[in-house]
Structure 1
Amino acid sequence: MTTMLLACAMLGSTAVWAVDPSVQQLRIGFQKSSINFAVAKQQKLYEKEFPNAKISWNEFPAGPQILEALAVGSIDVGVTGDTPPVYAQAANKPLYYIAYEAAKPLASAILVPKDSKLSQLSDLKGKRIGLQKGSSAHYLLVQAVRKAGLQWTDIQPIWLTPADARAAFQKGAIDAWAIWDPYFASAQLEDQAKILVSGQGLSPNYTFYLASTSFVKQHPQAVKGIIQQINTADKWVQANRSATAQLIGQSTGLKPNVSQVFIDRRPRPSAAAPLTAKVIADQQQLANRFAELKIIPKPINIKLAVWTGK
């Protein structure tokens, strides 16, 4: 812990903050997978960035709940996987993609119990698969079903939050579980869950930072400051990986070995950057696939929800 505190002190003494005095409050939605936000919260980076603002942190079980909060105006900024913003945009909920983190396909998987006889994707036919509706795991499962040569109607999706899915998985109430880290790492290490397939070749599994349209329009400079501090946090994470595992364990209740696997599966670095043409194209592919399957009610244009920094 001493190393972590020393690094925090050094960070605070050398950082240059691009202060936006117009921001009076910043309400952030995060989840257990939000490592950079966890570090920013612990180190009070946004209190330094916005000294006149009241900073509040709101934890949610998954991305869909974060974007629902964004849509009703109870948070200003949130972090999710790839699928929640597609759902939100298709439902005409206002949002902006403000940044993304590098793809991490190995950080999500479809898991089966340690004694399961399921060994290939085609074995999912007729099986009960737990997942959070509208989450990144939803797209992973859609892609896996497609790769297996099955139809979506060939499986039985069981819509569960990560915590409820974990309980169902442990009881044998579901045959498989589509999930992301750190729940993935926890089940893998603590339940000896087997990986039926990871996201490799199926879903890039981007992390996205989203903001309300009203916040972006009122505080465009502040958005840049938010991204800057995500990257300040990530630089610290890359230089202090074992301390980060300890911090994540303390903030989430995860065991240290689970936190370490979770962190090790993330790309190095995992900084936030403006969306590239490839990232937008990958998101558009996701949206098109969901529209084809009528999972979302209509086709959407991802570019219309991407903040350009102007």
Structure 2
Amino acid sequence: MQRRRFNQWLGGLSASALAVPALQAQAQARPLLKAGDQKGGLQALLEAAGELKGLAYDIQWTEFPAAAPLAEALNAQAVDLGPIGDAPLIFTLAAGSRVKAFAVNRSDAYGTAVLVAPNSPLKSAKDLKGKSVATNRGSIGHFVTLKALASVGLKAEDVQLRFLPPADAKLALTQGSVDAWATWEPYTALAETGGHARVLVSGRGLWSGLSYLAATDTALRDKRSVLQDFAQRAARAQQWARQHPTEFGGTLARIIGIPVEAAKLQFERRQTRWQAIDAEVIAEQQRTADFYLDAGLIKQRLDVRATFDTGFSAPA
């Protein structure tokens, strides 16, 4: 009798022991999306719009101050995806990163600009000759600087480029260590509304305004449904924000820690729209890549068609 009870107890223990790893496996079956972000980017937008609710997967967020460190994280597989402008995406792809763009949006290019101090004597791009300009290497700020110079017949060699991250570049401008700072939103709006800078040259007519969601080849292979859902949520969040600009401006300011005035300004003038990756987008991306080749920032011509994954539904 005692032996029978022992066997029954042992059988129950075995079943319980087997159930523990089964439950753990079930809990771990929920996909994890490692999302890179830039300041004032997707996390704040999705949170404000309520699009982080009801997820069938978990998100691990990592924020970067600029596209360059985000691109490095993508290349190292430290993140699965992230928002990145057309020029820095080309820069990292030319360096051998195994990532592709799978969703695209277009913004008004005004806030990607070359800034100067409010009292600077500089009045136009021509005045940059012989001056120092701080920006991130390979960034859209770098790109707009080169395009601004080219528009007035100048070359990169005609200015002193100092490659600094946004915080250091802003400090250098306010302290007078550089003559200009080429940057993007929300840094442009922050500098303007804070009285630290004014726009010398805006990106309108110089930059396409294209930005992408880029993902690693591994994530594109293994997490396609998650990436598709994430892109759709980002597009819905953008639409919600356009319909609720005041509410979104306040929420964005709280989440990313900037004044409401700056948050609202950078959002309203961006006028971001998600769209399909079409022939026009690819052609514009090719022109940007060719410009970087001519400027000597990449060494070989990049055929951008291979850098897109067009197998996703366009964000609606």
CA drift at 1:298: 1.6
Larger Rg: 2
- The answer to whether residue 30 in structure 2 is matched with residue 26 in structure 1 is no
Q: Say which SS state the counterpart of residue 212 (structure 2) adopts.
A: strand
Q: Who is 2:253 aligned against?
A: 249
Q: Deviations over 1:243-281 (max 9, x none)?
A: 1111111111110111111111121xx343332211211
In structure 2, relative to structure 1, the CA distance for the partners of 1:22 and 1:134 (3 Å cut) is farther
Q: Distance in 1 between matches of 2:175 and 2:182?
A: 16
CA–CA distance in structure 2, aligned partners of residues 261 and 291 of structure 1: 34
CA contact (8 A) 1:141 1:178 kept: yes
* 1:48 aligns to 2:50 (yes or no): no
Judge conservation of contact 2:141–2:184 (CA < 8 Å) in 1. Answer: yes
AA at the equivalent of 2:202 = S
SS of structure 1 residue aligned to 2:83: strand
How many angstroms does 1:37 deviate by? Answer: 3.5
State, as a whole percentage, how many aligned pairs show the same letter: 28
2:124 is matched with 120
Q: Which shows bigger deviation, 271-280 or 96-105? A: 271-280
Amino acid in structure 1 at the alignment position of 2:115 = L
CA-atom RMSD in angstroms: 1.7
Matches within 5 A, 1:227-306: 227-267=231-271, 270-306=272-308
Q: Distance in 2 between matches of 1:146 and 1:261?
A: 29
Match of residue 7 from structure 1:
none
1:92 and 1:30 map into 2 onto residues whose CA distance is 21
Q: Which residue of 2 aligns with 1:224?
A: 228
Q: Which moved more, 1:246-255 or 1:214-223?
A: 214-223
Q: 1: CA distance between counterparts of 2:291 and 2:29?
A: 41
Task: Indicate the residue corresponding to 2:156 in structure 1.
Answer: 152
Unaligned runs of 5+ in 2: 1-27
Superposition deviation, residue 191 in structure 1: 2.3
Aligned residues: 285
> Any conservation in 1 of the 2:44–2:256 contact (CA below 8 Å)?
no
Whole-Å separation in 1 of the counterparts to 2:281 and 2:131: 32
Report the counterpart of residue 89 of structure 1 in structure 2: 93
> How far is 1:45 from its partner?
3.0
Once the two structures are overlaid, the 10-residue window that deviates more, 300-309 or 41-50, is 41-50
- 1:136–1:205: 8 Å Cα contact kept in structure 2? no
4+ runs of 1 displaced by more than 4 Å? Answer: none
Once residues 275 and 22 of structure 1 are traced to their aligned partners in structure 2, the CA distance between those partners, rounded to angstroms, is 32
Deviation at 1:170, TM superposition (A): 0.6
Q: 2:45 aligns with which of 30, 36, 39?
A: 39
Kept in 1, the 8 Å contact 2:49–2:240? The answer is no
Aligned match of 1:100 in 97, 104, 111?
104
- Determine if contact 2:40/2:252 at 8 Å carries over to the other structure: no
In the alignment, the residues of structure 1 paired with residue 117 and residue 138 of structure 2 have an alpha-carbon distance, to the nearest angstrom, of: 23
- Asked whether the 8 Å contact 2:48–2:248 carries over to 1, the reply is no
Give the aligned partner of residue 64 of structure 1: 68
Normalising by structure 2, we get a TM-score of 0.86
Indicate if the aligned counterparts of 2:33 and 2:226 stay in contact, CA closer than 8 A. no
The amino acid that maps onto 1:126 is G
Q: CA deviation at 1:42?
A: 4.9
Deviation at 1:230, TM superposition (A): 0.7
TM-score normalised over the length of structure 1: 0.87
